[in-house]
């Protein structure tokens, strides 16, 4: 272990203390090589200590991105800023789990100094920022009334139908607006044929988890069927609808899995619209479905939003 490890991890007491923290913790040296990786970091990311120690933080593992899908590892790296400028950096990132999906984390990075005050590395502490408690409550509720899709742990199509009808009823009675996103995984059948249904199931779970972690607590997510997903977004305007849709598209785009030594990338095509006052379930779903297929026909991995609302 290098100087950073010698100073901070020279006794079993400190190792035990750090390993029992709830938050993920890791140290890097001035070259951003990882010299310590605690047990919470293993649990949260899926990557073991042996897989991470002696690797650089910018290697092809965590691959931090911001909420717009922009990579932070080679530019705007929190650890690099802390080491070069001697400052503490905080923010929200989305990291790449070993299973392939993206998860949000609150990150705090601080420089590490030796007894002379010279910076010899940095420590990153990251905590889970995913809506796990909210999701667990929803899962329990759905299981009780048989509205759960067993593979993705999202609401199933009946759940989506019921909520869509409820939102339309609220629109009629109270004038409450909402938006809808309808998305389809690109080239899903080709991946199924090439790698098998087990890989297809992994991709469905990756997309479902990424969607949940990219939406608001008030949004309603369901697996519509096959490789299609629907999201209802109460009380949004066109800009908010577009922002959420683009965020999800970019987060999915940054997700991938390794199959037989090959990197299988995942993308979605999305249609988006705000509800019309005279909409029925049929007219609304027909419109958003057509917008989704517009995204497919124009090259996939893109968003098509109704021009009437967002020119």
Burial of 12 (0-12, 13-18, 19+ CB in 10 A): exposed
pTM for the model: 0.73
* Encoded tokens for 247: 């965020």
pLDDT for the residue numbered 4: 46
Dihedral over alpha carbons 256, 234, 226, 65 (to 10 degrees): 0
* Encoded tokens for 311: 């020119």
Q: Is 239 helix (H, G, I), strand (E, B) or coil?
A: helix
pLDDT for the residue numbered 8: 47
Longest dimension (CA), the chain: 71
Which is the catalytic residue, given 42, 80, 124, 227? 227
- The alpha carbon of 274 is separated from its chain's Cα centroid by a whole number of angstroms, namely 24
Query: What is the SS3 assignment for 62-130?
Result: CCCECCCCCECCCCCCHHHHHHHHCCCEEEEEEEECCCCCEEEEEEEEEEEECCCCCEEEEEEEEEECC
pLDDT for the residue numbered 22: 82
Query: Which residues, including other chains, have CB under 8 Å from residue 259's CB and lie 6 or more apart?
Result: 195, 199
Give the span between the Cα atoms of 188 and 205, in whole angstroms: 13
| Helix (H) / strand (E) containing 175 | none
Q: Is 227 a catalytic residue?
A: yes
Q: Which domains does the chain have, with CATH numbers?
A: 3-128 (3.30.450.20), 132-305 (3.30.70.270)
Give the span between the Cα atoms of 10 and 1, in whole angstroms: 10
For residue 70, what are the CA distances in angstroms to 75, 183, 206, 212, 268? 9, 21, 19, 19, 17
In terms of Cα–Cα distance, which of 282, 205, 272 is closest to 240?
A: 272
pLDDT by 10-residue block (mean), the chain, 311 residues: 47 67 90 93 94 90 88 88 94 91 91 90 88 66 78 93 94 94 96 93 96 92 96 95 96 91 93 96 97 96 80 42
* Encoded tokens for 180: 């809808």
Give the span between the Cα atoms of 49 and 58, in whole angstroms: 16
Give the span between the Cα atoms of 82 and 109, in whole angstroms: 7
For residue 124, what are the CA distances in angstroms to 24, 80, 81, 88, 154? 8, 11, 12, 10, 32
pLDDT for the residue numbered 61: 86
Letter string b/e over residues 266-305, b meaning 16 or more CB atoms within 10 A of that residue's CB: bbbbbbbbbbeeebeeeebbebbbebbeebbeeeebbbbb
């Amino acid at each position: 272990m290098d100087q950073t490890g010698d100073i901070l991890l020279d006794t079993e007491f400190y190792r035990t203390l750090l390993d029992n923290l709830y938050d993920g913790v890791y140290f890097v040296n001035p070259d951003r090589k990882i010299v310590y990786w605690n047990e919470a970091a293993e649990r949260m990311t899926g990557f073991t200590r042996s897989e991470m120690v002696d690797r650089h933080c910018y290697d092809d593992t965590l691959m931090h991105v911001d909420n717009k899908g922009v990579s932070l590892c080679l530019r705007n790296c929190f650890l690099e800023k802390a080491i070069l400028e001697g400052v503490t950096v905080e923010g929200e990132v989305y990291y790449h789990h070993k299973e392939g999906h993206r998860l949000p984390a609150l990150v705090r990075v601080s420089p590490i100094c030796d007894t002379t005050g010279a910076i010899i590395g940095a420590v990153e502490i990251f905590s889970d920022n995913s809506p796990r408690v909210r999701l667990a409550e929803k899962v329990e509720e759905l299981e009780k009334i048989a509205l759960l899709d067993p593979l993705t742990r999202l609401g199933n199509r009946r759940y989506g139908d019921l909520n869509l009808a409820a939102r339309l009823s609220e629109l009629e009675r109270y004038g409450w607006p909402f938006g809808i996103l309808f998305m389809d995984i690109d080239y899903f059948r080709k991946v199924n044929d090439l790698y098998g249904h087990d890989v297809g199931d992994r991709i469905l779970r990756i997309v479902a988890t990424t969607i949940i972690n990219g939406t608001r607590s008030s949004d309603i997510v369901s697996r519509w069927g096959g490789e299609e997903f629907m999201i209802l977004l109460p009380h949004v305007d066109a800009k908010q609808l577009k922002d959420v849709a683009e965020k999800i598209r970019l987060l999915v785009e940054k997700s991938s899995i390794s199959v037989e030594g090959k990197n299988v990338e995942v993308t979605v095509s999305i249609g988006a619209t705000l509800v019309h006052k005279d909409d029925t379930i049929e007219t609304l779903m027909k419109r958003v479905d057509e917008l989704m297929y517009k995204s497919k026909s124009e090259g996939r991995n893109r968003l098509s939003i109704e021009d009437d609302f967002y020119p």
